[in-house]
Amino acid sequence: MKTRPHNDSEARSILPRIKNPADVKDLIENDLPILAEEIRQELISVLSQTGGHLGPNLGVVELTIALHRVFDTPKDKFVFDVSHQGYVHKMLTGRRNRIHTLRQYQGLNGFLLRTESEHDVYGAGHAGTALSAGLGMAAARDLKNGDEHVVVVAGDAAFTCGVSFEALNNVSATTSRLIIILNDNEWSIAKNVGAVAEYLNRIVTNPAYAHLHAKAGKFVEWLAGKQARKLVHKAEAGLKNLLAPSVIFEDLGIRYFGPLDGHDIPLLIKSFEFLKSQNEPVILHILTQKGKGYAPALEKPDKFHGLGKFHLDTGETAASSTPTYSELLGQTLADFADQNNKIIAITAAMPTGTGLVHFARRHPTRFFDVGIAEEHAALFACGLATQGMKPFLVIYSTFMQRAFDMIVHDMALQNLNICLCMDRAGLSGDDGPTHHGLFDIGYLRHIPGIVHMQPKDEVEFRDMLWTMMHYQDGPIAIRYPRGTGTGIPSTESPRLLEIGKSEVLRHGNQVALFGLGNMCEMALKTAELLEKHGISTAVINARWIKPLDITTLEFFARGCDVICTFEDHVLHNGFGSAIIEHLSDAHIPTPVVRIGWPDQFIEHGTVPILRQKYGLTAETAFAHIIENLSLPFEQPQSAAVA
């Protein structure tokens, strides 16, 4: 490959010249490291203002450059697992001039979207999906006699997902041409755990060159000389009696190569050119450094996996005096576990995000991070429950849906005492539709015997966790929002709540507003607007999604002219739907106005912007209540009210 010398006097900016992948191919080889450095600096600068997945993207800069140097998108297909590491790909495929809009309303999404670019062949957001999706694309290509390449890029954490192994089990029987890149940085969001992570670790930490498969060793030497092996050797002490690293993959019919240095652009380019010529499924194991090029991200990989705005020089984020619901959960469960040795905390690769890091520090033997394996986590909790333990399964709402079958078939059917804690319930703002927790009411409330609730503030949150700990009649669930609450300190001892009993915050006899969880605040604001117009308004903190407080509901439905419900959830099969169903069964004809999210996937953006757009406001609620009271009032447009 043609090269030219480079020195400081010849330094020039490369990145602004990259308008599409063809421009990457036109660069001379010496320009590629310069491009990598410029991409890193721009990522650090932009994400300090927008927030996002900085660490993962800093780790795949050279990999992404090499992919676009060798392959031709959109004809060739890149399938990024999760796709949170797709920022560099966006920059190289014509979106660099919009990278500053990342995760902003009407800006670039923080994950790949098929609707955003023809170069994004598969949208994602959850781990473990890339191998199956890529295999499907390869099968479709074979059926159509195509010649394009399908390249799957999956982190080592994705190989802790059961669905990844389901795909691996089918690769050799499905296609003879699939390229899999195992991007090994030893991290998912937290440090990887389990036997698979240990297996990969043995490959890269064995002394000398025993960790290189014999064929892979010759392959590396052929590509880049004997020194290439030294580039990928790690100095840590290895383990004796190491099995051949390719055993798992080659026994599945996938030829293994590696591990290679994932930051060596020339080596990656030669490797990809070689793999393109193979007529068998192949896996290339590369070693990358999460957060490479930014010291704070290297020091705290879990923090910089995904974060908000941060100070460019120090990497510090804005401190808040109000703890998040996640932090409160971890601290509260740790307090409870001091007095109850049956409490177990389980998460799926998110000890920091869920706040369970606080629990893990104080009760390490009763904390389990099972990796990105929500289905296993749920069944693991079931096993614990059968033996009299009290497991708290703490998973984001958007990821808990992956364990739906286990919740139905194993927890509820067997009536096991398991506590489901669904973090990030409701809108997840700038993370977008893959992470909004807008469906958990719908996928839980129809399950027989399950109890489901949501707190209005931190004090009630602690009371609900206390109630969950003491509940002995089957599975019980709690949903709570991302971020901080109202700032109310929870210093008093927790109290048991009566299952299915709501709280009347204010009385009235014309309109009754039922607020669920953090939406009580909007209900109270709506009440103020109604009271200003002389309309007597009751506000009820619903607390319970299932069972409903039917006594309180029927009391106000029979005495008021309009009921209005508020929920941070889709309207279809949500809390308001449960209200309507019960009133219909009870033959109470009181009209119900529902405030919630419409029947569509909600884009990314700040919560206030999206609530305003879709009509989740006190003003919209007020207008529709007035309409149902048959009083004159100009109604604002809203697609999110029923």
Q: Which two tokens stand for residue 419?
A: 């506590």
What local confidence, expressed as pLDDT, does residue 247 receive?
67
What local confidence, expressed as pLDDT, does residue 291 receive?
79
Q: Which two tokens stand for residue 114?
A: 């098929």
Q: Which two tokens stand for residue 133?
A: 């999706």
Region of 556 (left: φ > 0; alpha: ψ -120 to 50; beta: rest) is alpha
Report whether pLDDT(586) > 80.
Answer: yes
Average pLDDT of span 325-331? 96
Average pLDDT of span 448-466? 97
Q: At what angle do helices 31-50 and 61-70 cross, to 10 degrees?
A: 130
Average pLDDT of span 60-70? 96
What local confidence, expressed as pLDDT, does residue 305 receive?
62
Q: Do the beta carbons of residue 380 and residue 353 sit within 8 Å?
A: no
Report whether pLDDT(560) > 70.
Answer: yes
Residues with Cβ within 8 Å of residue 556, at least 6 apart in sequence: 512, 538, 540, 563
Identify the residue with better confidence: 579 or 316.
579
Report whether pLDDT(8) > 50.
Answer: no
Report whether pLDDT(193) > 60.
Answer: no
Average pLDDT of span 300-320? 68
Residue 345 to residue 359: CA distance in whole angstroms: 8
Q: Which two tokens stand for residue 480?
A: 């709570």
What local confidence, expressed as pLDDT, does residue 299 receive?
76
Name the pLDDT band for 487 (thresholds 50, 70, 90): confident
Instruction: Encode 368-377: b = buried (16+ Cβ within 10 Å), e = exposed.
Output: bbbbbbbbbb
What kind and span of H or E run contains 506?
strand 503-506
Q: Which of 19, 287, 278 is nearest to 149 (CA)?
A: 278
Highest mean pLDDT among 213-217, 222-226, 502-506: 502-506
pLDDT, mean over the chain: 87
Report whether pLDDT(202) > 60.
Answer: no
35 exposure class (CB count in 10 Å sphere: 0-12, 13-18, 19+): buried
Residue 593 to residue 157: CA distance in whole angstroms: 44
Q: Which two tokens stand for residue 282?
A: 């192949």
The alpha carbon dihedral of 21, 138, 121, 155 has a sign of negative
What local confidence, expressed as pLDDT, does residue 209 receive?
35
Q: Locate tokens 């893959």: which residue?
A: 434
Q: Where are the alpha helices (DSSP H) in 449-549?
A: 458-470, 520-532
Q: Do the beta carbons of residue 623 and residue 595 sit within 8 Å?
A: no
Beta bridge partners of 255: 282
What local confidence, expressed as pLDDT, does residue 223 receive?
55
Report whether pLDDT(70) > 70.
Answer: yes
Report whether pLDDT(632) > 80.
Answer: no
What local confidence, expressed as pLDDT, does residue 526 receive?
98
Residue 230 to residue 248: CA distance in whole angstroms: 24
Average pLDDT of span 62-68? 97
Name the pLDDT band for 244 (thresholds 50, 70, 90): very low
Q: Which two tokens stand for residue 627?
A: 């309409």
First to last CA, the chain: 63
Average pLDDT of span 384-407? 97
Q: Do the beta carbons of residue 553 and residue 541 sit within 8 Å?
A: no
Beta bridge partners of 566: 515, 595
What local confidence, expressed as pLDDT, does residue 198 receive?
62
What local confidence, expressed as pLDDT, does residue 7 receive?
45
Q: Which two tokens stand for residue 315?
A: 């990497």
Average pLDDT of span 532-548? 97
- Biggest distance spanned by C-alpha atoms of the chain: 85
Residues with Cβ within 8 Å of residue 570, at least 6 apart in sequence: 438, 439, 442, 596, 597, 598, 599
Positions marked active-site: 290, 374, 402
Q: Do the beta carbons of residue 256 and residue 216 sit within 8 Å?
A: yes
Residues with Cβ within 8 Å of residue 269, at least 6 apart in sequence: 66, 69, 70
Report whether pLDDT(523) > 70.
Answer: yes
Give the domains, in start order, of the chain with CATH numbers. Answer: 8-194+274-305 (3.40.50.970), 325-479 (3.40.50.970), 503-628 (3.40.50.920)
DSSP code string of 150-211: EEEEEEGGGGGSHHHHHHHHHHHHH-S--EEEEEE-SBSSSB--SHHHHHHHHHHHSSTTTT
- 537-541 and 503-506 as β-strands: parallel, antiparallel, unpaired? antiparallel
Residue 28 to residue 37: CA distance in whole angstroms: 15
For residue 310, give the DSSP letter. Answer: B
How far is CA 97 from its chain centroid? Answer: 26
- Beta strand ranges found along 509-584 (DSSP E): 511-515, 537-541, 544-546, 562-570
Hey, is 260 helix, strand or coil? Answer: strand
Q: Which of 539, 451, 536 is nearest to 497 (CA)?
A: 451
What local confidence, expressed as pLDDT, does residue 472 receive?
97
Hey, is 366 helix, strand or coil? Answer: helix
Q: Which of 170, 223, 217, 202 is nearest to 1 (CA)?
A: 223
Residue 195 to residue 157: CA distance in whole angstroms: 12
Name the pLDDT band for 10 (thresholds 50, 70, 90): very low
What local confidence, expressed as pLDDT, does residue 641 receive?
56
Identify the residue with better confidence: 117 or 241.
117
Q: What is the pLDDT of residues 599-625, one digit of tens each?
A: 999 999 999 999 999 999 999 999 999
What local confidence, expressed as pLDDT, does residue 139 receive?
98
What local confidence, expressed as pLDDT, does residue 148 receive?
97
Residue 160 to residue 184: CA distance in whole angstroms: 12
Q: Which two tokens stand for residue 559?
A: 């005495």
Report whether pLDDT(301) > 70.
Answer: no
CA torsion, ordered 428, 433, 437, 441, to nearest 10 deg: 150
Residue 216 to residue 255: CA distance in whole angstroms: 10
What local confidence, expressed as pLDDT, does residue 194 receive?
55
Q: What is the 3-state secondary structure (H, E, C) of 269-289?
A: HHHHHHHHCCCCCEEEEEECC
Hey, is 518 helix, strand or coil? Answer: helix
Hey, is 256 helix, strand or coil? Answer: strand
What local confidence, expressed as pLDDT, does residue 246 receive?
56
Average pLDDT of span 523-528? 98
Highest mean pLDDT among 267-271, 322-326, 389-393: 389-393
Residue 8 to residue 29: CA distance in whole angstroms: 16
Report whether pLDDT(271) > 60.
Answer: yes
Q: Which two tokens stand for residue 571?
A: 């309207």
Average pLDDT of span 74-96? 94
